[in-house]
């Protein structure tokens, strides 16, 4: 594994099958899967059946998966950060009388809501635990074995205590069930060019994980460079959720329309150093989703050293051809306003606790004939159609 310095290690130590240097999947024996399901799916105080097939369990907030983490056994849940970051507006008023339409809807909202004191969790099914797992290929300088393609803006060289990203919501076409297309941010703790800690969030289409081709909101974290820790959403203990309205891993609508109305989700994460150093996640200035306790991390218990924003797709190269899986809106960055997918309001909270735009950032495009990225001051357009005459 020539590339194994970065991001490429398997997720589980049990029964790993290695497909190539960049892609790893795990096959766990059935009894282990059942045990894991039992551990993951906490008793529900209320269950909501979503029209898209998801089962949403409203789980006692004190009984959520996070507290299965050995480091969080005695953890006292926090419902709020100890303070709010300067320069960031947050409106948690749940004012239904205001006629501003809610920015975020999820299919299960049609069929109920979770009571105070619970959090909504997408129930994990057996097939969820048997799927492929991809680690990020970033920071690797070798691209010719690429089976994931990353187009992003990144910055390093400072200490980072927060990040903002407003991500345009599209529903890119994905060619195969085990391919994905995503738009996300990465906040990482890198030591000597080895990625150790990451916090990641964004939106993705990934049939193997969600059993449909809708666009889903997700979070991800690892604390050992995608080794034995880390997973999506609440599938392993770590992230402490406090919000009762948003299901991590459920689909989010509405999607943007080509040449028409645009929709976006704002992601803001911020390290609450006065309150123990936990990394809080806010969605669209309105939902305080929860936090990653500082104790999960080593480097990022202090601060992050690397940030990036961008899109990633997998490329199965079936029959030696590039995948037709789209990135972003499926249109190249040059098409710009209302047609190409954007990231905007790119910001980092720097060592002076100041929220600022990216500085000396690096643009990275691994498959420029298939997807591209055009950077402006604090926003960029990115994406493309995948296979075409220029991208055979």
- The C-alpha atoms of residue 30 and residue 26 are separated, in whole angstroms, by 12
- Asked if 53 interacts with ligand NAG (CB under 6 A), we say no
Which CB atom, from 56 or from 349, has the smaller least distance to ligand NAG? Answer: 56
Q: Considering the complex, state which of residue 48 and residue 203 has its C-beta at the smaller distance from ligand NAG.
A: 48
Q: How far is the CB of 293 from ligand NAG (least distance, A)?
A: 11
105 sits near ligand NAG (criterion: CB under 6 A): no
For the question of residue 235 being annotated catalytic, the response is no
Counting contacts by CB under 6 A, is residue 191 touching ligand NAG? no
Name residues whose C-beta falls within 8 Å of residue 90's C-beta, 6 or more positions apart in sequence: 84, 282, 285, 286, 288
Within 128-187, the residues that bind ligand NAG by CB under 6 A are: none
**Residue 76 interacts with ligand NAG (CB under 6 A)?**
no
**Is 38 a binder of ligand NAG (CB under 6 A)?**
no
Distance CA 182, CA 134 (A): 12
**Which is the catalytic residue, given 155, 179, 235, 312?**
312
225 cis-preceded (ω within 30 degrees of 0): no
Q: Residue 320 interacts with ligand NAG (CB under 6 A)?
A: no
For residue 242, the minimal CB distance to ligand NAG (Å) is 21
Nearer to ligand NAG, 108 or 220 (CB): 108
**Separation between Cα atoms, residue 202 and residue 382, nearest integer Å:** 15
Work out which of 110, 257, 318, 351 binds ligand NAG, going by CB under 6 A.
Answer: 110
Tokens of 92: 């948690």
- Cβ proximity to ligand NAG: between 54 and 152 the closer is 54
Q: Which C-beta is closer to ligand NAG: that of 71 or that of 257? A: 71
Least CB distance to ligand NAG at residue 108 (A): 8
Cβ contact 302:291 at 8 Å:
no
- Residue 51 CB, shortest distance to ligand NAG, in Å, is 5
Question: Using the rule CB under 6 A, which residue among 14, 71, 257, 336 binds ligand NAG?
Answer: 71
Chosen residue from 20, 32, 49, 126 binding ligand NAG by CB under 6 A: 49
Size of the site for ligand NAG (CB under 6 A): 7
Q: What burial class does residue 334 get, using C-beta atoms within 10 Å of its C-beta: 0-12 exposed, 13-18 middle, 19+ buried?
A: exposed
Binds ligand NAG (CB under 6 A): choice among 74, 97, 100, 360: 74
Closest CB 223 distance from ligand NAG, rounded Å: 15
Q: Could you tell me which of 187, 189, 221 has the C-alpha nearest to residue 346? A: 187
Buried b / exposed e along 231-246 (16+ C-beta atoms within 10 A): bbbbbbbbbbbbbbbb
CB nearer to ligand NAG: pick between 74 and 93: 74
Examine the residue annotation and report whether 312 is marked as an active-site residue of this protein: yes
In a 10 Å sphere around its CB, with 0-12 CB exposed, 13-18 middle and 19+ buried, how is residue 258 labelled? middle
Q: Which of 155, 166, 200, 335 is catalytic?
A: 200
Closest approach of Cβ 112 to ligand NAG, in Å?
A: 8
* Smallest distance, ligand NAG to C-beta of residue 295, A: 9
Q: ∠ CA 120-256-172 to the nearest 5 degrees?
A: 80
Residues known to be catalytic: 200, 312
Residues that bind ligand NAG (CB under 6 A): 49, 51, 71, 73-74, 110-111
């Amino acid at each position: 594994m020539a590339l194994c310095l970065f991001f490429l290690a398997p997720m589980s130590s049990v029964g790993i099958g290695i497909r190539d240097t960049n892609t790893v999947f795990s096959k766990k024996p059935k009894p282990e899967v059942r045990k894991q399901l039992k551990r993951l799916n906490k008793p529900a105080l209320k269950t909501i059946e979503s029209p898209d097939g998801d089962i949403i369990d409203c789980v006692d907030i004190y009984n959520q998966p996070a507290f299965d983490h050995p480091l969080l056994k005695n953890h006292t849940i926090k419902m709020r950060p100890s303070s709010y970051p300067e320069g960031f507006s947050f409106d948690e008023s749940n004012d239904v009388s205001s006629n501003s339409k809610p920015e975020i809807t999820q299919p299960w909202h049609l069929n109920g809501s979770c009571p105070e004191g619970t959090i909504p969790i997408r129930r994990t099914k057996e097939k969820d635990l048997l799927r492929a797992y991809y680690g990020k290929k970033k920071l690797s300088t070798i691209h010719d074995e690429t089976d994931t393609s990353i187009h992003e803006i990144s910055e390093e060289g400072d200490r980072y205590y927060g990040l903002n990203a407003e991500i345009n919501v599209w529903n890119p076409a994905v060619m195969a069930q085990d391919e994905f297309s995503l738009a996300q941010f990465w906040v990482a703790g890198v030591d000597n060019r080895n990625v150790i800690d990451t916090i990641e969030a964004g939106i993705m289409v990934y049939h193997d994980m969600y059993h449909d081709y809708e666009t889903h909101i997700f979070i991800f974290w690892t604390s050992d460079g995608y080794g034995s820790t880390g997973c999506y959403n609440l599938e392993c203990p770590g992230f402490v959720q406090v919000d009762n309205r948003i299901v991590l891993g459920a689909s989010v609508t509405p999607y943007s329309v080509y040449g028409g109305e645009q929709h976006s989700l704002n992601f803001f994460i911020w390290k609450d150093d006065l309150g123990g150093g936990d990394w809080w996640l806010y969605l669209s200035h309105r939902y305080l989703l929860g936090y990653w306790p500082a104790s999960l991390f080593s480097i990022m218990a202090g601060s992050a050293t690397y940030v990036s924003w961008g899109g990633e797709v997998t490329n199965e190269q079936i029959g030696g051809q590039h995948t037709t899986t789209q990135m972003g809106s499926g249109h190249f960055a040059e098409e710009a306003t209302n047609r190409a997918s954007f990231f905007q309001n790119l910001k980092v909270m720097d060592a002076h606790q100041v929220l600022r735009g990216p500085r000396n950032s690096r643009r990275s495009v691994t498959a420029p004939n298939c997807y591209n990225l055009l950077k402006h001051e604090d926003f960029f357009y990115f994406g493309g159609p995948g296979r075409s005459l220029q991208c055979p």
